[in-house]
Structure 1
């Protein structure tokens, strides 16, 4: 079943949204991914129990363009999500974010907790996670740092073929799996995503000053934080930190996972999430 496509008119422009599932509404997005009707592996996790709205942020897919660079920032992106929520006629929804989507979720929780039923934050951080963590693959001391940087730059190319980009994307993902040989098993569905280069470039600048740790106490939304013990993108210590500083947050650690616990330990991940949601009922 493909995702339902819609264009949502808001006070901040038109945004491209894909919907799937039934039940309580949940918003899912990523800071620089471009989604389409094939959906998203992370978002698919929630479609069994919820009506999921997968949102293309500004400058991603067919969503509104940015008139000024600051409109690509995390806070402005949260304002856009609030406009989408209003445009959909949803009074309150959950938010689930993986990686930079989880970082965006933290910003969302700080400023609009009353509009969120719950937060699910997976493999993320509330502050810049590269400089002081040699376990992070984006740190120059990490053994796979150079290759990861090459792959990221390659994916921004406007001259490379789609086949080349797909090969680079697969290699990049394998660097963030505990068992790279299981890639084909984990990513067996026909999900096709692109990357918004302009959004990723802005994020790389914004990240250098990113630190919301002192504001985490302002999050009143029920929050579930999940992370793979071997996560090389946003190492576990950053999830532990968020769990300690967000009031009443719960932390679930997946011992046999890297950056994709929702695929690497799919059954356990889904059950952990389901149990948490049932506790909130």
Structure 2
């Protein structure tokens, strides 16, 4: 499989590491706390046949700019970083696609900069904190797999973790979010690997508790496709249904045999 082209992009807000693949109209893809590399990303890979995909390592991820102040890792500041990257590429407009916390960034991007977005694809995401009031969420203490997910997440944050053990735990964590976990190896058969930015995840885990932009969803003016699995245990499908009901020009697609 063709690897992604690595570039360092100098912007008004610092230097960011991006990986580029495909041709066509530009499309930005990112995740709030993943660290990407030349092997790319499964979600981003799906768009490369039709778009020039710019896969972004956010602040503190990979070789991108550090956070000089903690608030620079917030979701809103991250949207401003993405706008600076778009401007440095000299794109008047581009698309955005995000899965999970990447989708949450896409919601904020649409609220504050719809004029920069040709379209958005928001997958398995939410416009507000999704743990406290949803027992269907694996991050809710009443979910049967809550503790094992917490243990996996904390282990993956460890910088000295042996790579073989990291891969094993990462696979087991992913299986918790698959409708058919026995098909994990079939789904993830490509030579794609990424890591997690512990510092970004730690900041997000605090910020999430006060995250709620549901009353601003009607400010999004760019077209949005909202996708979710019927059995999503991370951001349950009710949150996608909620977004689709509040965002103008949105379409909702629910995959009936899918998890997160």
TM interval, shorter chain, is over 0.9
| Correspondence 1:150-189 to 2 at 5 A | 150-189=151-190
The alpha carbon displacement at 1:159 in A equals 2.9
Counterpart in the other structure of 2:219: 218
In structure 2, what is the Cα distance between the partners aligned to 1:204 and 1:89?
Answer: 33
Counterpart in the other structure of 2:87: 86
| Correspondence 1:92-171 to 2 at 5 A | 92-171=93-172
Counterpart in the other structure of 2:32: 31
In structure 2, what is the Cα distance between the partners aligned to 1:143 and 1:45?
Answer: 32
- The two structures have a TM-score, normalised by structure 1, of 0.92
The alpha carbon displacement at 1:160 in A equals 1.9
SS at match of 2:234: coil
In structure 1, what is the Cα distance between the partners aligned to 2:40 and 2:119?
Answer: 22
Q: Does residue 241 of structure 1 match 2:224?
A: no
Number of aligned residue pairs: give it. Answer: 259
In structure 2, what is the Cα distance between the partners aligned to 1:161 and 1:248?
Answer: 47
Where does the alignment leave 5 or more consecutive residues of structure 1 unmatched?
Answer: 260-281
In structure 1, what is the Cα distance between the partners aligned to 2:26 and 2:241?
Answer: 27
In structure 2, what is the Cα distance between the partners aligned to 1:159 and 1:248?
Answer: 46
Counterpart in the other structure of 2:205: 204
Q: CA RMSD in A?
A: 0.5
In structure 2, what is the Cα distance between the partners aligned to 1:33 and 1:134?
Answer: 26
Where does the alignment leave 5 or more consecutive residues of structure 2 unmatched?
Answer: none
